[in-house]
Amino acid sequence: MKYEDLQKVNDRLSPILIERKDKKTGQTLSKEYNTVDQRISGFRELFPDGAIVTEIVSHDNGVVLMKATAYDDNGKILATGHALEKESASYINQTSYIENCETSAIGRCLGIIGIGLTDAVASAEEIKGQIDAEQKRTDDNINGTYDELKDLYDKAGGKDFNKWVKECGGISPETYPKMKAKLLKQITDTAEKGDKK
């Protein structure tokens, strides 16, 4: 494979823009990535008689590790790529974590060859999966935090939890500690007043 041929293939690909919000700064970050199907199309253009072979390296307790190997037209190994997926990582993974893992391994393998490379080996699917997993962790944390604050609010004798949350500016990593401390103080103060009677 010549560099010029690789460049022609990459110029033909149409990367997609993926945006995510930076939790520290609140800024929206965006980057272009190529999808795995585009990378496979590029691979087929460069190596019409080549092959992409995947294998499960390990699969245990809802966690799968896969390996993808790309071969040129003469059967020579061009690159390998690995990926790991957890069944519990996202809603999609609950039914398709093995397929997602295979796609990621192929995308990484072809990225290592240089096919569909923007400025990262990761594919669009892989980045979206990472963003989805991060969002799920955030949602789980917020849901757990919501339940905890609601319980404390009820113990403090509150009447309208949702209204109180709005008055506090919503539940976030920044507001949560203050909200929790305020509720704990109210509960303690109420208990101390009861003891004095």
Flag whether pLDDT at 64 surpasses 90: yes
Q: Which pLDDT score, from 0 to 100, does residue 124 have?
A: 46
For helices 36-46 and 93-113, what crossing angle results, to 10°? 40
Summarised one tens digit per residue, pLDDT across range 83-95 is 988 888 776 777 8
Q: Which pLDDT score, from 0 to 100, does residue 48 have?
A: 96
The residue count of the chain comes to 197
Summarised one tens digit per residue, pLDDT across range 97-107 is 899 899 989 99
Residue in the structure block whose two tokens are 């990378």: 39
Q: Which pLDDT score, from 0 to 100, does residue 150 have?
A: 80
* Whole-prediction pTM: 0.57
Average pLDDT over residues 22-27: 68
Measured distance CA(133)–CA(60) in Å, rounded: 20
% of the chain beyond a pLDDT of 70: 75
User: How high is the mean pLDDT of the chain?
Assistant: 80
Radius of gyration of the chain (CA): 25
- Can you name the CATH fold of 3-122? Enolase-like; domain 1 (3.30.390)
Q: Which pLDDT score, from 0 to 100, does residue 128 have?
A: 56
Flag whether pLDDT at 122 surpasses 80: no
Q: Which stretches does DSSP call E strand in 22-60?
A: 28-33, 51-60
**DSSP states along 77-98:** EEEEEEEEEETTSSTTHHHHHH
Average pLDDT over residues 117-132: 56
Give the containing element (helix H, strand E) for 71: strand 63-71
Q: Which pLDDT score, from 0 to 100, does residue 137 have?
A: 55
Query: Of 113-117, 129-133, 143-147, which one has max mean pLDDT?
Result: 113-117
Flag whether pLDDT at 82 surpasses 60: yes
- Domain extents for the chain? 3-122, 142-196
For helices 3-12 and 36-46, what crossing angle results, to 10°? 140
% of the chain beyond a pLDDT of 90: 25
Neighbouring C-beta atoms of residue 184, cutoff 10 Å: 13
Measured distance CA(114)–CA(7) in Å, rounded: 9
Answer yes or no: are the C-beta atoms of 171 and 144 closer than 8 Å: no
Summarised one tens digit per residue, pLDDT across range 172-196 is 767 777 888 888 888 887 776 665 5
Q: Which pLDDT score, from 0 to 100, does residue 1 have?
A: 81
